[in-house]
Amino acid sequence: MISFPRVAAIVLRQWYLMKGSFSRILPNVTWVAVDIILWGFITKYLAAITASKFDFVPLLLGSVLIWDFFVRIMHGISMAFFEDIWSRNFLNLFSTPLSIAEYLTGLVCTSIATGTFGLAVMLLLAIGGFGLSFARYGLLIFPFFMILFLFGVALGISGIALVLRLGPASEWFIWPIPAILSPFVGVFYPIETLPQWMQLIARILPPSYVFENIRSIVSGGQASMQSLGISTVLAVIYILIACWIFTRVYRRAVRTGLIARYSAESVS
Amino acid sequence: MLNPLSVRNLSKIYKTTTAVDGISFEVSRHEIVGLLGPNGAGKTTTINMILGVLEPSSGNIVIEGLDIARERTKALERTNFAAVYAQLPGNLTVAQNLKVFGLLYDIEHLSDRIEMLLAEFQLEVFRNVKCGLLSSGEQTRACLAKALLNRPRLLLLDEPTASLDPSIAKDIRSSIKHLAEREGMGVLWTSHNMYEVEDVCDRVLFLSRGKIMMQGSPKSLLHEHGHETLEELFISVAHNQFPETEGRP
């Protein structure tokens, strides 16, 4: 059973770190702001040079915003985990009654907080600066965000499992994951644009269904509830797989004694 | 009344290396047991297994009747530790760390408990100082305050006074002795300071190459093995001059 105070302890630790550190808060604002401003001007430029009345703002800027939310969620989990690595806190943490489920729940709650903060900044800039409106998506905007959130959680947990298994030096594996995935999920173009083998990969990635639906709605079509259902199920399966992998890696670390002496020096 | 700690046939084997080799011992209420031995004897490995961060190859660890392999959460709610190599995160203040760990142990009336421990370990003036900025002695006191947050039935101390000056070390020793008496806590204490061990421990276990070579009260062991000081006895054990006498009272 999950203990609320223990989950709260993991979140509170991150809150204490954030509130006292400008350098921890700034990255949550900077990268998303840069992305929104950059893509905001690109959409404006595209609207100016194309003769069609096609509205690029909800398509491109909306997609960038939802994708960046996914990235914030994934990195939110990773960063909270890295704070424990950097302060060599594993022995202190895991010798308490804290369970793996409580620890992961705490990391996810932290990422919800940091992801929501980043999202608020993005919305402020995108709506205020470039006139983004989600009105066209209606209530479907919620499942869009939910699917990206679930997939972000799955990749965040998988990423920290990788770092726990391979050591802190493998941290750099995590940061490019969203960039590697983005060509496959079709953030900016239809999946049909991709070669066949890339389309096959796209079909097993939940975000690709979200972006396909966004394009469909912006082009005046209907959203496919079936494809949203498939992507939700896929995202949940990925979370279950990620939790299973993390638990296996953690148990191995307890068997080998790695948890008690985990640091950059103890794991190459 | 259940013993705070009961260890039975505990072993840890890393591939071809046996770090802990079938040791058995108990820690009773109000008792401070010294776990002694040369570097690499298996002391920290034993402590890590009791803390549930290292899986034994075989054997049982029972904390107040709770087998840590089956009832980890309940067993660890009754346990805590302080070690010279496991300082509190340096990027949080003393009070913040105590609050976080207090929540992890789900302690009732946490603020009162924190205030009490800050006073007990003379940490009030450092409550808002980041742990990383404290001197090593102050950090150790903060660690000890964290170790007592949950009023543990079993307290594991791995060289707790290693970085303290003699005056504070003496205060800490008497404080732990007092707490063991008052709260009925069992304490497993590792140290390389033999004077400290004689002063504080009711009983000692000498570990060498993962085995308990001898155990008993400091005075009885000195008498039994014909040594003047525990330090001499320690050196003898380190050179492995004694036969295994595990289980001897």
Element holding A139 (H helix, E strand) = none
pLDDT tens-digit map of B170-224 = 888 888 999 899 889 999 999 888 888 988 999 999 998 899 989 999 888 888 8
Looking at chain B, the whole-number percentage of residues with pLDDT higher than 90 is 64
B88 and B67 within one domain: no
Q: What is the pLDDT of residue B106?
A: 95
What pLDDT band is residue A56 in, cutting at 50, 70 and 90?
Answer: confident
Query: In the predicted model, what is the mean pLDDT of chain A?
Result: 91
Name the amino acid, one letter, at B102: G
d(CA B32, CA B43): 15
- If you average pLDDT over residues B95-112, what whole number do you get? 97
Which chain B residues touch A17 with a CB distance below 8 Å?
91-92
d(CA B1, CA A254): 31
Q: Are B159 and B192 in contact (CB under 8 A)?
A: yes
Element holding B22 (H helix, E strand) = strand B17-27
pLDDT tens-digit map of B121-171 = 999 999 999 999 999 889 999 999 999 999 999 999 998 888 788 888 888
Out of A88, A97, A256, closest to residue B77 by CB: A97
- If you average pLDDT over residues A95-103, what whole number do you get? 96
- Look at A267 and A128; give whichever has higher pLDDT: A128
B157 and B146 within one domain: no
Rg, chain B, Cα only: 18
Element holding B37 (H helix, E strand) = none
The region of weakest confidence among A14-18, A146-150, B157-161 is B157-161
d(CA A182, CA B38): 55
Q: What is the pLDDT of residue A262?
A: 74
B52 and B101 within one domain: no
Q: Are A28 and A172 in contact (CB under 8 A)?
A: no
Out of B72, B92, B104, closest to residue A16 by CB: B92
Residue ending a domain, among B105, B126, B151, is B151
Out of B51, B87, B96, closest to residue A95 by CB: B51
Q: What is the pLDDT of residue B247?
A: 40
Name the amino acid, one letter, at B66: L
Which chain A residues touch B89 with a CB distance below 8 Å?
13, 87-89, 92
Cβ neighbours, 10 Å, residue A189: 11
What pLDDT band is residue A12 in, cutting at 50, 70 and 90?
Answer: very high
The answer to whether A5 faces chain B, any CB pair under 8 Å, is yes
> What CATH code is carried by the domain that includes residue B34?
3.40.50.300
Q: Are B185 and B155 in contact (CB under 8 A)?
A: yes
Torsion of CA A28, A33, A34, A39, to 10 degrees: 130
Count interface pairs A-B at CB distance under 8 A. 88
B97 and B37 within one domain: no
What pLDDT band is residue A94 in, cutting at 50, 70 and 90?
Answer: very high
**Annotated domain spans of chain A:** 4-261
B160 and B52 within one domain: yes
Burial class (CB in 10 A: 0-12, 13-18, 19+), A73: buried
d(CA B73, CA B78): 9
Q: What is the pLDDT of residue A154?
A: 98
B174 and B72 within one domain: yes
**Hey, are the CB atoms on A17 and B106 less than 8 Å from each other?**
no
B243 and B165 within one domain: yes
Looking at chain A, the whole-number percentage of residues with pLDDT higher than 70 is 97
pTM here is: 0.91
Q: Are B103 and A9 in contact (CB under 8 A)?
A: yes
The answer to whether A259 faces chain B, any CB pair under 8 Å, is yes
pLDDT at residue A235 above 90?
yes
Q: How far is A234 from chain B (nearest CA, A)?
A: 32
B141 and B26 within one domain: no
pLDDT at residue A97 above 80?
yes
Q: What is the pLDDT of residue A89?
A: 92
pLDDT at residue B246 above 50?
no
**Hey, are the CB atoms on A260 and B53 less than 8 Å from each other?**
yes
- Which of B170, B154, B168, B135 is closest to B66 using CA atoms? B154
Q: What is the pLDDT of residue A20?
A: 75
Q: What is the pLDDT of residue B245?
A: 47
Distance of CA B95 to the CA centre of its chain: 23
Which chain B residues touch A3 with a CB distance below 8 Å?
106
Which chain B residues touch A87 with a CB distance below 8 Å?
89-91
Which chain B residues touch A250 with a CB distance below 8 Å?
none
pLDDT tens-digit map of A78-93 = 999 999 999 989 999 9
Q: What is the pLDDT of residue B249?
A: 36
Question: From the candidates A95, A105, A258, which should be mutated to test the interface with B, based on the most B CB atoms within 10 A?
Answer: A95
Which chain A residues touch B71 with a CB distance below 8 Å?
none
Out of B54, B93, B106, closest to residue A257 by CB: B54
pLDDT at residue B242 above 60?
no
Question: From the candidates B72, B100, B114, B127, which should be mutated to test the interface with A, based on the most A CB atoms within 10 A?
Answer: B100
The answer to whether B229 faces chain A, any CB pair under 8 Å, is no
B125 and B245 within one domain: no
- If you average pLDDT over residues B32-40, what whole number do you get? 92
pLDDT at residue A49 above 90?
no
ipTM of this predicted complex?
0.89
Task: Write out residues 138-197 of B within 8 Å (CB-CB) of A.
Answer: 146
- If you average pLDDT over residues B66-81, what whole number do you get? 96
- Look at A54 and B66; give whichever has higher pLDDT: B66
B189 and B74 within one domain: yes
Q: Are B8 and B24 in contact (CB under 8 A)?
A: yes
Q: Which residue of B has its CA nearest to A88?
A: B89
Find residue B157's DSSP bridge partners: B82, B189
The answer to whether A16 faces chain B, any CB pair under 8 Å, is yes
| Count of the separate structural domains present in chain B | 2
Out of B90, B96, B104, closest to residue A16 by CB: B96
Q: What is the pLDDT of residue A155?
A: 97
Residue ending a domain, among B151, B184, B200, is B151
B136 and B39 within one domain: no
Q: Are A74 and A144 in contact (CB under 8 A)?
A: no
Q: What is the pLDDT of residue A266?
A: 59
Q: How far is CA B206 from CA B3, B10, B47, B227, B235, in A?
A: 21, 15, 14, 15, 11
**Hey, are the CB atoms on A97 and B14 less than 8 Å from each other?**
no
Q: What is the pLDDT of residue B1?
A: 75
d(CA B155, CA B175): 13
Q: What is the pLDDT of residue B6?
A: 97
Domain range for B163: 1-78+152-249
Q: What is the pLDDT of residue B101?
A: 98
Beta strands in B39-185 (DSSP E): 58-63, 66-67, 79-83, 154-158
pLDDT at residue B241 above 70?
no
What pLDDT band is residue A164 in, cutting at 50, 70 and 90?
Answer: very high
Task: Write out residues 82-141 of A within 8 Å (CB-CB) of B.
Answer: 83, 87-99
d(CA A208, CA A201): 10
B187 and B69 within one domain: yes
Q: Which residue of B has its CA nearest to A85?
A: B89
